[in-house]
Amino acid sequence: EASTVYSDLALLHAVLAASKSTCRDLLVAPFIADLEYEVIASFYGTSKDAIRMKIKRCLKEAKRIAKKL
C-alpha cells in the first residue's frame, strides 16, 4: 500500500510539473491548500463560477497529461 501512495504522489508531482503554471496554481489552491473557490476568485479578481470552470478545464488537462505519462 505504501508503494501505491508513493507512485500516486510521483504521478501527481509529474502532472503538476508538466502543467501550465496557472493550472498548477488553480489545482493546488482548492485541492491541496484547501482554499474555497470564493477565496481563489477574489485573488484572481474574477467570479466563483469562472474559477470553477477554469479548474474544471485544468483537471481535464491534468487527466490528459497523466494518461501520457
pLDDT tens digit at each of 69 positions of the chain: 778 888 999 999 999 999 999 999 999 999 999 999 999 999 999 999 999 999 999 999 999 999 999
Q: Determine the pLDDT at residue 6.
A: 84
Q: Determine the pLDDT at residue 41.
A: 97
- Rounded-to-integer distance, Cα 48 and Cα 64, Å: 24
Q: Determine the pLDDT at residue 12.
A: 93
Q: pTM for this one?
A: 0.85
